Structure 1
């Protein structure tokens, strides 16, 4: 509960504007329905423009453009992306935030959503179009990627003959782990609205039961090391029974959860495991395979006594 003696500031701004470009001192008695992102900071300008780069009237929704001292110079070695992100208005450089806002009669900006399909998932900013373009480089004819319940990326692909595992492997080889869809839904035809565009509202709900259970086709019993890693990721990712074959990016954890899991691995199993090894082997089973030789090589110096005892005790268990 927030007391009346507490002052809360709502700060807004993408990284391209040096994090903060607008601010609002929250009024805990008045801002009960929604909290504005406020007004521009000193030496910043916030413009709300329509599709024709014309200023909108008060209370009308428009795209937010930010200019001022903190606007970045561009993306390193990405001139095409920089050109799309920046625009010159009145001899001043403005950043296209892609955010939709409106201004109330008091001059406060209110966030309304995104103009494009950029999202944030587990603290990572993701361009859904990049994932869709990656998928279109395969044999599928059309696709759409959406965020589902703030936890997962779901890819809907239009195809009559496609192997889902091949799609997943293609994404794993071309995209970072946090951009790989959790589920691929194959449809003979994607739903189309009257304007000829994909109707996202008519897309079927994905079957998330596939994420919580170990694949029925996988009859390989877990090794003691895999069981230990599964317990660590269960604790770090708040996932009761994480799939040992599923990439970490699809288990629903945040970047902080990954760091927590890495610390537990270093404390309980092997200090030689680093973040590079973790991301290069993005599943419990893959990680166990590369850690196992380290336990032999560095047993005297890199594995804690408790971890060694646990592994030794589990070696004697009966196998199915």
Structure 2
């Protein structure tokens, strides 16, 4: 494998990690502040992707498609929180899992009813098509590089929101002692709705960005949701910094594993067998990484002890 190809795969892993961060950031906020296991978070990712495809089809604007994805996912998230999730905060985690799993089925069937069973496609805007030359003569997709930039910008924005603003102060306080901030006059119900809508909007944005790389179809959010849970376990529940670190680790591990392991096995066996075995082992690497992190730091890299 050449050095240029390795650098390209590192960038691909970073892009994948940034996409996972957008999913995991909302998930870790919801779980950290509300203590809620939300299996339907992947459905909000799907809602964002379908909303983006629909808005892009109506307007021809990719920027409006991104805005539409966030608005649609945030509205769907707020509606779900007000009608269903709000009744689950005092229930145990099993009830939360069952209820949010039912939401997955509802979202999937509603999306299939509205958009049909066939995949939709979201085109990369003309200004972001093609490649850009990076230092060292590396040719890399301009759109994927834009995803990396957007993800990092969102990470900085979330950090500033949580650490420097009044709403961020309330979110941090709600994570540590929700009864106390309720006693101080903060409307905890409104805070929960805002946090849930924010997490949903980030998931919707992630779905819209990925929708221009792969097809937009029913059920596309569930595989990403599993990886997002791995990310927050590795990074530490409730930590935005941990979500970013965990997402990048998972993205790089998965991408480089799928690239390098077939090459390693290909040095002493047939190419077809090496590809099969390498791909199988690569899919296990992120779970091995998670187990290794939890072995030495059970709360995750940036989780609270």
TM-score bin (small chain): under 0.3
TM-score normalized by structure 1? 0.23
When Rg is computed on C-alpha atoms for both structures, the one with the higher figure is: 1
Tell me: higher relative CO, structure 1 or 2? Use CA pairs within 8 A at least 6 residues apart.
Answer: 2
Q: Of Structure 1 and Structure 2, which has the larger fraction of its residues in helix?
A: 2
Q: Which has the higher strand share?
A: 1
The alignment's TM-score, normalised by the length of structure 2, stands at 0.24
